[in-house]
Structure 1
Amino acid sequence: MLVTITLALTAALIALACALAFGGPRDIAPLASINDPFSGVDFSDVPRVQRYTARDGTSLAWLHYPRAPGTGASGAPLRRVVLVHGSSSRARSLHVLARALAAQGHAVAALDMRGHGDSGTRGQLAYIGQLEDDVEDFLNAVPHAGPQTLMGFSAGGGFTLRFAGSNRQARFDHYVLLSPFLHQDAPTARPDAGGWASVGIPRLVALTLLNRAGISQWNHLPVLRFALDPAARAGLTPSYSYTLAMNFRPHEDYAADIRNARGSLRIVAGQDDELFHADRYAALFADAGNPAPVTLVPGADHMGLTLSAPAVAAVAQHAAPLESPQP
């Protein structure tokens, strides 16, 4: 019996080691629908990078888009919209949307989330939960007296839900999820996120088991790789460590995040989204116990939601809470 147990444990340890060493994400062909749309974007007027200091002393980057002159309701408090980009990306990817929100009368802060762009080491975090700390540190370092919206796109939309369902939810009065990633097993998910991401499932499972046992020393290993073309790799984040992959999304029990979300919550997605099943968001949130208004933008695919003029105009309408939600 002792020999059998020893052999079984040895085999399990060997399997675990092999999963860690060889079970990472595979290379994935570039996804044109994600890479190509940015070639037509005018980035000539992107604001200069600003910085704030997080609690660990790291300097993190963000972009400031002030409210356009002559906009905003007379006497109404200025609303700030804090933008969270999608997976692999950075603040400047939301430049078109940020300009539209500023033209609508809002102050806009687009963040380079840690592990992306000019914020920290790309693809890495120190611990799960650091992104929430960073957002709170931004709010404290760059205070705003008026109401605030947290608006996130794709993986950033999933992180926005994570924040909305947390004990820091009162820091914003309004949350907008743009085509959010919720979970790989959610009804909204397509296989491999529609061809955008390669998941190293053996390594992911092994690291999850180790973390449940309190072992996190290998959390820096990559578990996600994205379908970037070679030209985009220099400015974006090609892969995520386990730590970043687990933090830049909802919690594992994403339905609990939905139930726990308080305040005003809205979902906007492209009707032709190729990464997620956009028509399933409404039922999913209702089934989780927190029905949320969903707007599907006709003719918009995943990236088009933040780049095409009609879609961006539709998104901008929902940057503040609506007394009577529009369909």
Structure 2
Amino acid sequence: MAHPFPLKVVALQAGVSIATVERVLRGGAGVHASTVRRVLQAQEELARQSVQVGLSGKKFMIDVLMVAPQRFTDSVRQALEAQLSSLHPAVLRSRFHLHETLEVERIVELLERIRKTGSHGVLLKAPDLPQVADAVAKLAGAGIPVVTLVTDLPGSQRSTYVGMDNRAAGATAAYLIGQWMGSARQKVLVTLSSNRYHGEEERELGFRRALRERHRNISIVEVSEGHGIDGATGPQVAQALLEHPGLAGVYSIGGGNAAIVGAFAQAGRHCQVFIGHDLDADNLALLRSGAIHAVLHHDLGQDMCRACQDILRAQGALPPLPLQQAQSLSAIQIVTPWNLPALAARQ
């Protein structure tokens, strides 16, 4: 049976041999289930990116490795694929390695596999751990630039960081909560997906510092390690509500907002102010319903465009930016139900 893409193209996209692709297409006998999934995913990625594959110009393969809730990685995938045509005449294809949770050993294994398979660059969202930094150093040594997304690895040999100023974002959340909650003594719940992410740590530091400087009446209760997943975050919040009857607000740094809203409702508690991050499908629905009050958002399309341009610059396919034109961090947008961006408003 004819297949829409050459075997060697599917093999490159999947990061496996041509022989493995042939076995999968013949039924997958003797091939590990995860490898079969990788080949099938490669075909899906090629189908979405097929408009790009036919364009003239030098072709580049980039790998996207993210450890984040699916609602966010879906948004990143869509934003990246929407930007590919804007990078003409260069042609970029992308391979995705997206996981909601992943042990550091598996992250390192994936980065090592990317290094051995070959890549023109890696877009990475991963915890700030020494093992990850070591793997990034190996990629850099092999001439594969790494651009960190949303959360940085500041002590590593990554090429650039693309995302907002997370400390400023935390301070912005503190300002909004302070304005809405007034001068009475109040408690706010701060939720993180994990303490291992530099970006989340920076948001929390900015939030705490701003409260300490301007809103000393507001104290913090923190929960962490729910990985931004509803099933893990909900019980943590329910327990915090049980232990702290004075909780009146939420700054959700790590996500799982539907579960947080549900925990408040189940406990029969009113959330006076709720600030979240990222305008994903969940947060869009929660904003429209009034369950959350504001979202700190950054334009993922612009971020993806910049990340790809950074990789092209590292590969010499674009000229370096003059020092006076060095790219700044992503703008922090405060989104409420009344100023939804045009694309989100149509969803």
Normalized against structure 2, the TM-score is what?
A: 0.34
Structure number with higher helix proportion? 2
Which protein is bigger by CA-based radius of gyration?
2
Normalized against structure 1, the TM-score is what?
A: 0.36
Higher relative contact order (CA 8 A, sep 6+): 1
